[in-house]
Amino acid sequence: MAGFIGVKLDRLKGERLEPEIGWGVREGEKLPALLAEIKCEHPTQPAFAMPDPADFIFGSRFPNELFRLLELFDGATLYAGTDHPWRIRRSSDYESCMLLGLNLRLTHFIDLADGRCLYCLDYFRFIKAPDGTPDREEEQFWVVVSKPEKYFDKLFQREASGLNRSEAQVVAKGLEQLFERILKAGGRYFFDEPGFTPEDSF
């Protein structure tokens, strides 16, 4: 990429501000190609039919990154017929789930063969300045794997599904990292491999 990147003070020309032209190189986004590969190689459902994502009704905050997936397909099964399938739910089957102890609501969007599930959320955290003080708030898309457990929701006086904080692993930050790891591992549950290190913790 190249073009106008800012201004500079030219002291040789009467201290005038002049445009600064420059260029830079950055790696292109991989998510569109990953989603296209999944749509080509694995059984998928038709794309999300609703014309305006703003019309989508969901109980908790719906992560924006999921809309990019829904634009190509609304539901899929990766590595069907193996002992390690990934069933991406249709958006109508997404469920809200509580991370117990922190009162964070996550979106349940993938089921695994062994009863575990994948959840996602937009997680906001403060990035620290060099002196260790909070500098700015940053939004991150976290993908979490865990097995849900039943608990009694005192607010609504009913049984609900929740996640044990100590068992929840952050296995990816963003759908791009998640699907890249799934495809690279041939569909095996990469977070079960020896030496896997969670991306972060709550």
Q: Which tens digits make up the pLDDT trace of 24-82?
A: 554 558 999 999 999 999 999 999 876 555 555 554 556 778 888 999 999 999 999 99
Domain ranges of the chain: 29-192
CA 26 to CA 189: how far, in whole Å?
A: 30
Q: Which two tokens stand for residue 94?
A: 């997404």
74 contact partners, CB below 8 Å, separation of at least 6: 45, 46, 47, 48, 49, 90, 91
179 contact partners, CB below 8 Å, separation of at least 6: 31, 34, 35, 38
Model-wide pTM > 0.75: yes
Q: Which stretch of DSSP H or E encloses residue 141?
A: strand 134-146
Q: Residues 124-143: pLDDT tens digits?
A: 877 777 777 767 777 889 99
Q: Is the dihedral of CA 161, 164, 169, 170 positive or negative?
A: positive
